[in-house]
Chain A
């Protein structure tokens, strides 16, 4: 990653992702409070659903981190193109499944 990309990455983290997280947290708290109001308990359901899925994504993130998925962050983009070019070649040679 060159200097300019690094700058953009830090810029996005500081001015987009962190504010995004804060505003999302405020929203979550607001919805939770609505769920506590009389007759509005159903409002809590999307909130529980979100927590359930978000927990799964936290585990997925940890799994990916422990597997080293973020060590060389640009490599997968190059790997994907190489692999695709290889399959193009194989299919050009007739290795495809017929219709």
Chain B
């Protein structure tokens, strides 16, 4: 066994710092989303204030989610999981670890200020101001070395576990696709070809960064909480290598009915449909692991977050295979359907996984039992019901808008028909925000209370 000395290999302080940052940014992101939803009700509280105009607040909502909340949450998970997967510490905790931590927070804050100041790039999910991009790239390269060096060291001695493969791949891909998506369409390739690259970037950011790191962490945390190995490691490796070779360049299906040649669009649709089957194998693996352990979902809230996230992932992928069809696109393109889809994957899946990781790690890094399991339950149900209802509401809104336009009705008809659905969206947003406040308060009180050692209260 490749342990080093008798001490643990995890830097609790780095995990703790990233968890706190993830929570702070989640609060900002939820508030920005809630504010933006008020614009649809005609009740935006800052009319005429350019710095807080709804369009800019929307970008704060989306970019804050990816770089502030998800990245901090994932990095916290990586600082916990990678040393425990490998028995080796990350490359450097004291200098590189803390430098990376502050660099990430500075980059996210610079992005927020830049976006609110009107310096966004006109690239979806790549709105990060152009002056921030080089720093993000440097951060991503440092993260690659910080986490893959221990994995490589371990891989020389023993076979790697599925989590390690997913983590390596996510960290290798993201700098490449970040350069491609943020620089090429803006400076080198305009027009249709540039749009295709933008589409590729949108999907790659999700599929080649957020997805592999998320699955890497789920393959670690779910078996650890259940104290049971994954049902089939062979199947998990098959899923990984399928993703590694066949997932890239999915994004052209974002531009169906565009001037991109139709044969390329057909190929994009066909390839997406088949890839969804590969996704199903990953979900089967987790459900087979859960088989016979249903009770664990009652006892462990972290596990519940993770498994609901996995269910949401399955739903999103099924939805994806339906919405890449050219006929479906006729009805849903540019509507709230797409917004619902994005929310279910970014928050309902990856966000829920991070909330699960946070709930699992918080008592461990603070060394205290969770302050209130009742608050924990309330937070879970409020956020979960809020999210799922918002998704259904946005899908319904998308269909109403799409068919209203398809029927060549006046534009304002679609706005009037959507108004009640937009109201419901704001209500579900409030539910999520209240749930988050309870979640935050519970964590704050846990950290603050008298030091009673945690006896693994969140294990299943």
* A contacts, CB < 8 Å to B: 1, 5, 8-9, 12-13, 15-17, 19-21, 23-24, 26-31, 33-34, 37, 39-43, 45-47, 49-50, 52-54, 56-57, 60-61, 64, 67-81, 83-88, 90-91, 95-99
Contacts and interface: CB of A to CB of B under 8 A. Distances in A.
A8 B261 contact: no
Given A64-B155, A77-B223, A97-B11, 17 more contacts: A9-B234, A16-B274, A19-B274, A19-B277, A23-B271, A23-B274, A27-B267, A40-B261, A45-B189, A46-B196, A68-B159, A72-B159, A76-B158, A76-B161, A91-B364, A95-B7, A97-B10
Interface in B231-264: 231-235, 237-238, 241-242, 244-246, 248-249, 252, 260-261, 263-264
A52 B180 CA distance: 13
A49 B160 CA distance: 26
Interface stretch (B168-176, B306-314, B398-406): B168-176
Contacts of A90: 6-8
A17 B159 CA distance: 23
B13 interface: yes
A39 B261 CA distance: 12
A43 B193 contact: yes
**SS class of chain A's interface: helix, strand, loop or mixed?**
helix
Contacts of B193: 39-43, 45
Given A31-B264, A45-B189, A80-B220, A75 B10 contact: no
Contacts of B231: 5
A37 B261 contact: yes
A79 B161 CA distance: 9
Nearest to A56: B172
A93 to B, nearest CB: 8
B163 interface: yes
A27 B270 contact: yes
Nearest to B157: A67
A30 B262 CA distance: 10
- The listed residue with most B CB atoms (<10 A of its CB), out of A75, A78, A91, is A91
B177 to A, nearest CB: 8
A50 B172 CA distance: 12
Interface in B10-28: 10-13, 16
Contacts of B160: 64, 69, 76
B436 to A, nearest CB: 23
Residue among A29, A45, A68, A80 facing the most chain B CB atoms (10 A cut-off) = A80
B296 to A, nearest CB: 15
Contact of B12 (A21, A41, A99): A99
19 contacts: A5-B232, A9-B235, A12-B238, A23-B274, A29-B267, A30-B267, A31-B249, A31-B267, A33-B263, A43-B196, A64-B155, A64-B160, A67-B159, A72-B159, A75-B233, A76-B233, A77-B162, A87-B84, A96-B10
Nearest to B220: A80
B272 to A, nearest CB: 9
Given A27-B249, A46-B196, A80-B161, A17 B238 contact: yes
A65 to B, nearest CB: 11
Contacts of B242: 16-17, 20
A71 B196 CA distance: 41
B437 interface: no
Task: Give me the 3 closest cross-chain CB pairs, A-B, nearest first.
Answer: A42-B189, A42-B193, A30-B267
Contact of A80 (B85, B234, B264): B85
B184 interface: yes
A13 to B, nearest CB: 7
